Structure 1
Amino acid sequence: MMDDALRILIEQFDALWRTAELWWRNMLLPSRVLQIVLILVVLAAAWILRRLTTEPMRDWMRGLDRPTWQIRMLLVVNRRLQLIWFVVLAWAVTWILRAIYVFPSKYYIVDMAATLGSAWLGVIFAARLVRNPILRTVVRWGLWVWVTLYLLGLTDETTAFLDRLALGFGEVRLSLLTLIKAVVIVAVLFVVARFLSRASGDRIRRNEDISPSMRVLAVKVLQIALYGAALFLGLEAVGVDLAGLAFLSGAIGLGLGFGLQKVVSNLVSGVIILLDKSIKPGDVISLGQTFGWVHTLGARYASITTRDGKEFLIPNEDLITGQVVNWSHSDPFVRLDIHFGCAYADDPHLVRRIAVEAAQGVPRVLSARAPVCHIVGFGDSSVDYILRFWITDPTGGLTNIRGNVFLALWDAFRAHGISIPFPQREVRMLGEDAVAVAKD
């Protein structure tokens, strides 16, 4: 079997060599040599024009105030100026030759070069729709090869050659042509799925009738469904038997289930969080020593941004199993308490009234839910008070609003002559007689 496959492969290469030899002989005809020389002249002229126009165009681009996507597109044009100039000059030469000669054989090669250049240029701009740089490069080169073979009329011969390069696994035959088709079709379907998921995801995120957690869940389900459909449709399109892969995929899934228990647990916990709406983007939460607001809810973790700019990635399982304080779960109202003490000589009724008025004058403190002040005890050196007030924007910070209320209390007490005592100790120096009595 291996000898037969090697023999067939040698015969195919021999046929290709004879075809290439015949094509080369045809290229040596005088009319075609002239066209090849014209193409080389056009290439040289395009290279010179690219050198003359690249820097002036970049200087012009630096002074533009345009959206980012327009600047990026102009940058792509700037990087492909040689090919653009080649296409323009090649079509100009083609039109001139058409006007001079009647027979297409006199300008066929130049016309083909102009057509190929235009197709390659179109592929470059079409490939920009693919965001991933590696995938974009693969798509660009794949389309270049396919367009070239199609325009040269070599698709049937190339298809037959690739189909003969195959491996057999029992009743399954896997050819190089099938593999290339699978990669191309799946890649194209993935690009379409990504475009649809982004467009639909943006519409879902802008829908105010859906809660934030359900928006995230809907986007995740949509992405999984689209990418899964793209994969299965791509494999089905090239003739892969999906039923035969059922047992293998089940075994792989079982192995992954044991090996990736934590990952699966985080995925399931993320779905539970989105369904029960206990935590949603924008909530202010506390988990252990971490305090901040929920930036995003991912499939594996939640992104928590703190007031100092740090971003903590908390696994979803910790949000399910740990004790989480959600400051804005059911309503945005948050009550804060601060403790202070005043001297015994100060009127407690006056202290309470001044403390409430001082808190009401601080921005962010709600007047609808008026602050209250209570006596909570008689200390060693002061009467102890607690001041309670409400805010609705915990994302603005808690420490800063407490500090502002303390400053307001300081100014108000100082203006009304109310003192804030501190512990004092009295030390008495005993004489020698008292020391002797103490020793006895």
Structure 2
Amino acid sequence: MPCRWGGIFCCRRRRWRGAEAINNQFESLLGGLRDLQGQAETFLGSLLRPWNAYQVLIVLALLAAAHLLRAVLAPRLHDWMRTRSGWPKWRLRVLVVIHRRLRMIFFVALIWLTYMVMREATWPSRSYILGIVANLALAWLIVALTTRLIGNPVLRAVVRYGAWIWITLRIVGLNDETGEVLEATAIDFGETRLSLLTLLHAVLIIGALLIAARFITVQASARIQSNEDISPSMQVLVVKVAQVLFYGAAFFVGLNAVGVDLTGLAVLSGAIGVGLGFGLQKVVSNLVSGVIILLDKSIKPGDVISTGDTFGWINALGARYVSITTRDGKEYLIPNEDLITGQVVNWSHSNDFVRLDIHFGTSYADNPHEVRRIAIAAAESVDRVLTDRPTVCHITGFGDSSVDYILRFWIRDPTGGLTNIRGNVYLALWDAFREHGISIPFPQREVKVLEGSRLATTAPGGAATAE
């Protein structure tokens, strides 16, 4: 009985402590909001003073001037940009970004010039608001330009607006009060306390690290892809490994910087890995097969391959699949595992030379030596057929109604198609044989009516008659 009542008292004590903690957090949150409200009222009230009102009017006038400058100079800059089509792409991208931010660039230049003149000509108090606006405008412009390096639109928007808010609060001087409010808005998970301030720090730090990781990855990828000593498949492998390493390091360093304990994350990732190993066997198999393909260099981007009924050239090597583009414009995504376990014909594995065979037959009345000479000359007259590699023609047998031949010739551009080159060679043979009087026989059947037999026919009315 005492244990039972003691347990009830302990339970009530825990509930009372939890309610007291929530009440303290709520009081802290209200106190921070009151401080923010007081400072905001003080700042808005100060705008009613004469010199502060003049500074606000100066800011509005500078905004109007920046808008007019953009309206006049933006079309001229755009026309000048169109004449620079031969410039590198990164320069054109920089010009496009500058063109989109012309109004802000003009405003920053005008506000800083006005602020320095006012500071030298008047008292510092008469240019205080101009200094705040100038710092804000410059910081916002820098954030807007640097966040263009983030490729993901959602992440770019989160980092950009988060940086703008944090910089604005810091310049205005409200970062301490805002930090107290955000810190008071928190959720406790045992010994771990997760607040809005921690989440914002995590987003900003991880976003900045991801920007740096993307910049380093892009630069490293450009250097690797421009190195001709590295094979295309090895270039793809090195680039993917670099992306995984840099982005993974940025994510984990960002979590560690905001105080997240990675020990529990390691245990959780191990448990998830075991579950994924059973549930995603095919996905893991394709990933491993993709690494094997990159390492053994059996296929690489640009190779012409055929697997099953699919014939085309490799467009890209993915982590899970290989993209193959066919002659009819279709793009097939073939899993990496199928290329490892199945039979693949690589028409350009060690070189680009491909030999094609054509079978045909001629009449027994035609001279085989002339037929071979004419066939070789006709094939070599077709574009894409190589003349530095010998074209040959051989007799393969004596058929029922023709002498059978095989014509073999070489090409070195299988990406241009195989069916079309065969068709062109057939047309060249047809023209050459007609010119030299060589006939191409075809099976003929004769029907003989034996003496004394009767042939039954059907009349138009449907009645059978005998002749």
Structure 1 counterpart of 2:10: none
Aligned pairs for 1:349-388 (under 5 A) are 349-388=369-408
| Partner AA of 2:118 in structure 1 | L
Task: State the 1:228 CA deviation.
Answer: 1.2
Distance, in Å, in 1 between the alignment partners of 2:370 and 2:58 is: 100
1:415 maps to 2:444: no
Structure 2 counterpart of 1:191: 211
| Partner AA of 1:201 in structure 2 | S
Relative to structure 2, which stretch is displaced further, 52-61 or 289-298?
A: 52-61
Change in 2 beyond 3 A, CA 1:57/1:336? closer
Match of 2:105 among 77, 84, 94: 84
1:234 maps to 2:241: no
Change in 2 beyond 3 A, CA 1:125/1:272? same
Change in 2 beyond 3 A, CA 1:262/1:208? same
Distance, in Å, in 2 between the alignment partners of 1:70 and 1:203 is: 18
Structure 1 counterpart of 2:27: 7
Aligned pairs for 1:210-229 (under 5 A) are 210-229=230-249
Relative to structure 2, which stretch is displaced further, 59-68 or 380-389?
A: 59-68
Change in 2 beyond 3 A, CA 1:13/1:260? same
Structure 2 counterpart of 1:333: 353
Aligned pairs for 1:289-300 (under 5 A) are 289-300=309-320
Distance, in Å, in 2 between the alignment partners of 1:255 and 1:415 is: 73
Aligned pairs for 1:122-161 (under 5 A) are 122-161=142-181
Task: State the 1:420 CA deviation.
Answer: 0.9
Structure 1 counterpart of 2:339: 319
Q: Percent identity?
A: 61
CA shift digits 1:129-185 (9 cap, x unpaired): 222222222222122122222222333333333233222211212222221111111
Relative to structure 2, which stretch is displaced further, 268-277 or 37-46?
A: 37-46
Task: State the 1:434 CA deviation.
Answer: 4.8
Aligned pairs for 1:107-126 (under 5 A) are 107-126=127-146
Provide the secondary structure at the position in 2 that maps to 1:420.
coil
Contact 1:360 1:370 in 2 (8 A): no
Task: State the 1:223 CA deviation.
Answer: 1.2
Contact 2:163 2:204 in 1 (8 A): no
Task: State the 1:53 CA deviation.
Answer: 5.3
Distance, in Å, in 2 between the alignment partners of 1:401 and 1:343 is: 25
| Partner AA of 2:371 in structure 1 | V
1:175 maps to 2:195: yes
Distance, in Å, in 1 between the alignment partners of 2:324 and 2:427 is: 30
Contact 1:54 1:81 in 2 (8 A): yes
Match of 1:302 among 317, 322, 330: 322
Relative to structure 2, which stretch is displaced further, 106-115 or 26-35?
A: 26-35
Contact 1:182 1:235 in 2 (8 A): yes
Relative to structure 2, which stretch is displaced further, 141-150 or 64-73?
A: 64-73
Task: State the 1:339 CA deviation.
Answer: 0.4
Contact 1:340 1:386 in 2 (8 A): yes
Distance, in Å, in 1 between the alignment partners of 2:228 and 2:335 is: 27
Distance, in Å, in 1 between the alignment partners of 2:233 and 2:67 is: 55
Task: State the 1:211 CA deviation.
Answer: 2.3
Change in 2 beyond 3 A, CA 1:169/1:18? same
Task: State the 1:277 CA deviation.
Answer: 1.8
1:100 maps to 2:121: yes
| Partner AA of 1:174 in structure 2 | L
RMSD over equivalenced CA pairs, Å: 2.6
| Partner AA of 1:193 in structure 2 | A
Change in 2 beyond 3 A, CA 1:251/1:65? same
1:275 maps to 2:275: no
Aligned pairs for 1:59-78 (under 5 A) are 65=85, 67=87, 69-78=90-99
Provide the secondary structure at the position in 2 that maps to 1:128.
helix
Distance, in Å, in 1 between the alignment partners of 2:76 and 2:90 is: 20
Provide the secondary structure at the position in 2 that maps to 1:390.
strand
Provide the secondary structure at the position in 2 that maps to 1:340.
strand
| Partner AA of 2:320 in structure 1 | R
Relative to structure 2, which stretch is displaced further, 170-179 or 147-156?
A: 147-156
Change in 2 beyond 3 A, CA 1:42/1:349? closer
Give the unaligned 5+ runs of structure 1: none
Give the unaligned 5+ runs of structure 2: 1-20, 456-465
CA shift digits 1:344-400 (9 cap, x unpaired): 111222222322233333333334442222222222221111112222322222112
| Number of residue pairs aligned between Structure 1 and Structure 2 | 435
Distance, in Å, in 1 between the alignment partners of 2:391 and 2:65 is: 81
Distance, in Å, in 2 between the alignment partners of 1:396 and 1:424 is: 38
TM value normalised by structure 1:
0.90
